[in-house]
Amino acid sequence: MPQHLPMRLIKHPVLCNYYVTYRCNATCDFCDIWEKPSPYITLADAEQNFKDLKALGVKVIDFTGGEPLLHRQIPELLALAKSMGFITTVTTNCLLYPKYAEKLKGLIDMLHFSLDSPDREEHNLSRGVNCYDFLLQSIDIAKSLGERPDILFTVSDANMHQIQTVWEKICMPNNLVLIINPIFSYNQINDRQGITKKNLQTLQFWAKQKNVYLNEAFLALRQDGGNRIAQPICKAGSSTIVISPHNELVLPCYHLGLEKFPIQNKLKTLWKSEKVQQLIQQEGRYPACEGCVINCYMQPSFAVNINKYWFIALPSTLKYNLMKGTYKQLFYTNDK
C-alpha cells in the first residue's frame, strides 16, 4: 500500500481546539502554556463561533487550556455546545473537578483526567502542585454521578514501566479507559525525552489491551520519522480550527502559531478568506513541520485523508468510540 495517496475523504474541518484560557492552577514541567498571560473567552463570542463552527462542518469541540475548569462559565459553554449537537471533550488536572462535578454532569462526552504517574509523589512533582489525591477523589465522584472519565497517561521511556500499574490499579477496577498519549516535543519542551523503537513495540502491545486506547497510527508515524514537509501527512490547518482565549483564529496550528487573526464574530467568513486558505494550503510544509508527531493534530489528520495511516488508525478510532458510545455522533454527517 502506498504511504501517501492524494485522496481527501473529508474536505471540511472536523475538530475545534477551543482554548478557553491559557491560565492554569498547575505548573507542569512538560508544558509552557501556563506561563502565558491570558483572558477568558466570553459566552457571547463562543455562541457566535459555535454557529460558524457548525456551518463549517466541525463535529468535536475540545475545550482546552490551560486548565479549562478555571473558566467559571465552563458549564454554560458545554451546555451550549451540546445543545448544538457537538461532541464535547475536556481534559482536567482534577483540582477543580470535585467542586464543579455536579454542574458538569452529562455535558462532557469525553472527560479526561490527566495522570503522569501512579506514584503520588512523582505525579505531584510533575504537576508542580499536589493534585494526585484530587484525581482519585474525582474518579469516585464522577462514578457516583454516572460519568465515566478516561485516564490520560502521557508516556515516554521514563515511565513506560508504569503503564501496567495504572491499568491494573486504577483503570480496570473502575472500568475506565486508559488513554496512552505518546510524548511529543515542541518549543524546547520535552526535547530530552522520547520513545525508543523498542518501546514503540511495547506500546503496540498495550494498544490491543482491554480498556486501552492508543492510536496505532501515532506509532507508525514515529517509526517513519514523523511528518515530512516534502509529502506532508499533517492536515492540521484544514482539519482543525484553533481559537485562542483572545478570540483569534490561530494558524496553522497552536504549537506553530505563525498567524493570529481577530475573529470579530466572523469566523466562517475569516476561515474561507483567501489569506487564511493560502496559509492552510501550506499545512505540514513549514520548516518546523519536519519530523512533527504532535498527537492532537495528527489524530484529525489521519481521519480526513485516505493513506496508510487512515487504515492503521481506523481500528483504534472505532474501538474508542465504541467504548465511549460516541460512534453514532461521530459518523452522523450534515454535509451539504
CA distance 27 to 252: 26
Q: 155: left (phi > 0), else alpha (psi -120 to 50), else beta?
A: beta
Evaluate if residue 292 carries a pLDDT over 50: yes
Per-residue pLDDT, averaged over 2-8, amounts to 58
Per-residue pLDDT, averaged over 185-213, amounts to 80
Predicted pLDDT at 269: 98
Q: Mean pLDDT check: name the lowest of 107-111, 184-188, 309-313.
A: 184-188
**In the structure grid, which three cell numbers stand for residue 258, read together?**
505563525
**% of the chain at pLDDT higher than 90:** 76
Domains and CATH numbers, the chain: 11-331 (3.20.20.70)
Q: Mean pLDDT check: name the lowest of 25-34, 81-90, 245-254.
A: 25-34
Predicted pLDDT at 144: 98
- CA-wise closest residue to 52 among 22, 88, 81: 81
**In the structure grid, which three cell numbers stand for residue 235, read together?**
492536515
Evaluate if residue 217 carries a pLDDT over 50: yes
Amino acid at 323: M
Q: 112: left (phi > 0), else alpha (psi -120 to 50), else beta?
A: beta
Q: Mean pLDDT check: name the lowest of 16-25, 34-43, 111-120, 288-297.
A: 34-43
Give every CB contact of residue 149 below 8 A, 6+ residues apart in sequence. 111, 112, 113, 138, 139, 142, 176
Evaluate if residue 53 carries a pLDDT over 50: yes
Predicted pLDDT at 104: 98
Amino acid at 210: K
Per-residue pLDDT, averaged over 316-320, amounts to 93
Predicted pLDDT at 127: 85
Predicted pLDDT at 291: 92
**In the structure grid, which three cell numbers stand for residue 305, read together?**
485523508
Per-residue pLDDT, averaged over 102-116, amounts to 96
Residue 27 to residues 30, 52, 67, 246, 272: CA-CA distances in angstroms?
Answer: 9, 34, 11, 21, 37
Q: pTM score, two decimals?
A: 0.91
Per-residue pLDDT, averaged over 76-100, amounts to 97
Question: Which three-class secondary structure string do you get for the chain?
Answer: CCCCCCEECCCCCCEEEEECCCCCCCCCCCCCHHHCCCCCCCHHHHHHHHHHHHHHCCCEEEEECCCHHHCCCHHHHHHHHHHCCCEEEEEECCCCHHHHHHHHCCCCCEEEEEECCCCHHHHHHHHCCCCHHHHHHHHHHHHHCCCCCEEEEEECCCCHHHHHHHHHHHHHHHCCCEEEEECCCECCECCCCCCCHHHHHHHHHHHCCCCEECCHHHHHHHHCCCCCCCCCCCCHHHHEEEECCCCEEEECCCCCCCEEEECCCCHHHHHCCHHHHHHHCCCCCCHHHCCCCCHHHHHHHHHHEECHHHHHHHHHHHHHHHHHCCHHHHHCCCCC
Evaluate if residue 38 carries a pLDDT over 90: no
Q: What is the CA radius of gyration of the chain?
A: 19
Residue 259: pLDDT band by 50, 70, 90 thresholds?
A: very high
Predicted pLDDT at 73: 97
Predicted pLDDT at 212: 97
Predicted pLDDT at 3: 46
Evaluate if residue 236 carries a pLDDT over 70: yes
CA distance 207 to 320: 11
Residue of higher predicted confidence among 129 and 17: 17
pLDDT tens-digit series, residues 113-158: 999 899 999 999 988 889 999 999 999 999 999 999 999 999 989 8
Evaluate if residue 68 carries a pLDDT over 90: yes
Predicted pLDDT at 7: 83
Residue of higher predicted confidence among 336 and 254: 254
Predicted pLDDT at 336: 34
Evaluate if residue 220 carries a pLDDT over 70: yes
Predicted pLDDT at 1: 41
